[in-house]
Amino acid sequence: MEQKKKELLVLEDILGSNKKIAGQIRKKLDEHGILAVNLLSAPGSGKTSLLEKIGLELKDNYRLGVIEGDIETERDADRIRKIGLPAWQITTHGACHLEARMLAKIFDQIPADLNFLFIENVGNLVCPASFDLGEGLRFVLLSVPEGDDKPKKYPEAFITSQVLVLTKCDLLPYLPFDTDRVIKEALEINPHLKVFKTSATTGEGLDELCAFLEEELKLRLSQHA
Amino acid sequence: MHELSLVADLFTIIEQQANQAGAKKVTKVVVSVGELSGVVPELFRSAFQSYKKGTIADKARLQLKMVKIKFKCRSCDQEITARNIMDESFSYVCPACGSKEMELIAGRDLYLEKLEIET
C-alpha cells in the first residue's frame, strides 16, 4: 500500500497542560481567598530565612502555610515547622523546578481557611520561571553576595515576577554590590516590579514587605468577595 | 534543565494528534521556540532525541523555529524587536515615545506548530 504523507497544523502550547492545572489551582485559591506567593531564586539566596521571618511576623494575625520544593530532603519544611507553621515538602528527585501538577497532587492537604500560602520553589533562577503554579504573586529574590548583574542575565525570572526582594542587605558594606544598578536594570526589563531591600539578620525591610502582603491580601479579598 | 519535562508534554500532544489523524508514523515535528521561553535549543533537541525512541515519532526529525522577542508600545503602538534581551543596551522603554508601558507580544511562547505524518 502506498504511504501518504501529510502535514498537520497543530499550534498547541507545549506548556498548555501545566497552564491548565495552574488555572484550576488559581481558581480554587481565589475561591478560598488564599493569596499564594511563589518564591524564585538561586540556591542560597535566603528564601527559607525570609519565610521564617515573614512567618513569625504574620502568624499571630493570619493563617499561613508553606510548600517547600526541593530536589531532596525535608530540611526546609522542618525549619518552617519549627516556627509553628504547617509545611508540605515536595521533593522533585532531580527535577529543577516545581510544576503545577506536583502541587495539584498535594493540594487536598492544604487547609481551605489559609490566608497566605507560600511556595518556595526549587533553588534555581532559570527553570522555575517557565512554570505557572497558579500563584497570585511571584517573588524573585536576589541576595547581595550573588552580584548586581543578575536581572539581565536571568531575564525571565525578573520579567515574570511582580516583586523583587533584595536579601542579605546587611552585607552591603562588605561587598561591591551596586543596589541602584540592580534596581535600574530590573526595572528596565520589568518596569512594574516592586522592590524591597531586606535582611533576615537585621530585620531591615521586613515590616514593609509584610505590610505589602497584607495589602495584597485585602485587595484580593475585596476583588473576589 | 527543564527541557525533558517539556519534551514529555510535547510527546503527549504529538501522540494525541497523530492518533486523531490516523497516522502510522510521524516524520517531522516543527516546534516554535520563543527566545524568552526559557528553552535551550540544544538541550531540547537532545531531550527529543532520547524521548522519541519507541514512540510513533521514532524516526521524526525535529525542526526548531526560533521566535524573536517583540514588544509593542501601549502608548504609540510602535513595535520593537529585541535583538537580544541580554544585550546591555536593552531597555523596556519605547525608543519612539519614551513610554514604559511596553507589552511583550512575542517571544515567550513554546508551541507545537505542525507535524508531518504518514497515514
CA–CA distance, B62 with B53 (Å, rounded to integer): 13
Q: What is the pLDDT of residue A225?
A: 66
| Residue numbers in B near A96 (CB within 8 A) | 1-2
Q: Kindly report the nearest CA distance between residue A172 and chain B, in angstroms.
A: 24
ipTM greater than cut 0.95: no
Average pLDDT over all residues of chain B: 89
The answer to whether residues B82 and B70 touch, using CB atoms and an 8 Å cutoff, is yes
Query: Domain-by-domain residue ranges, chain A?
Result: 19-24+36-224
Q: Kindly report the nearest CA distance between residue A121 and chain B, in angstroms.
A: 14
The answer to whether residues B58 and B93 touch, using CB atoms and an 8 Å cutoff, is no
| Residue numbers in B near A155 (CB within 8 A) | 36, 85-86
Nearest to B108 by CA among B33, B45, B43: B33
pLDDT < 70 regions, chain B: 1, 83-91
Domain A19-24+36-224 listed as CATH 3.40.50.300: yes
Domains of chain B: 3-68+106-118 (3.30.2320.50)
A8 touches B at CB < 8 Å: yes
Apex CA B85: angle with CA A99 and CA A43, to 5°? 40
| Residue numbers in A near B113 (CB within 8 A) | 9-11
Q: Does the distance separating the beta carbons of B24 and A3 come in below 8 Å?
A: yes
Q: Kindly report the nearest CA distance between residue A55 and chain B, in angstroms.
A: 30
| Residue numbers in B near A17 (CB within 8 A) | 9, 12
Average pLDDT over all residues of chain A: 95
Pairing of strands A137-143, A35-40: parallel
- Cell for A16? 498548555
pLDDT, block means (10 residues), chain A with 225 residues: 84 95 97 97 97 98 97 94 97 91 95 98 93 97 96 88 98 97 90 96 98 96 81
Interface test with A, best of B20, B75, B112 (most A CBs within 10 A): B112
Q: What is the pLDDT of residue B96?
A: 87
Q: Does the distance separating the beta carbons of A9 and B114 come in below 8 Å?
A: yes
Q: What is the pLDDT of residue B85?
A: 52
Q: Does the distance separating the beta carbons of A5 and B2 come in below 8 Å?
A: no
Instruction: Quick: pLDDT tens for A150-190.
Output: 998 888 899 999 999 999 999 999 999 999 999 999 998 88
Apex CA B61: angle with CA B41 and CA B37, to 5°? 25
Residue for grid cell 515573614: A54
What is residue B118's DSSP assignment?
Answer: E
CA distances for A96 relative to A58, A99, A131, B5, B22, angstroms = 30, 10, 11, 10, 36
The answer to whether residues B51 and B4 touch, using CB atoms and an 8 Å cutoff, is yes
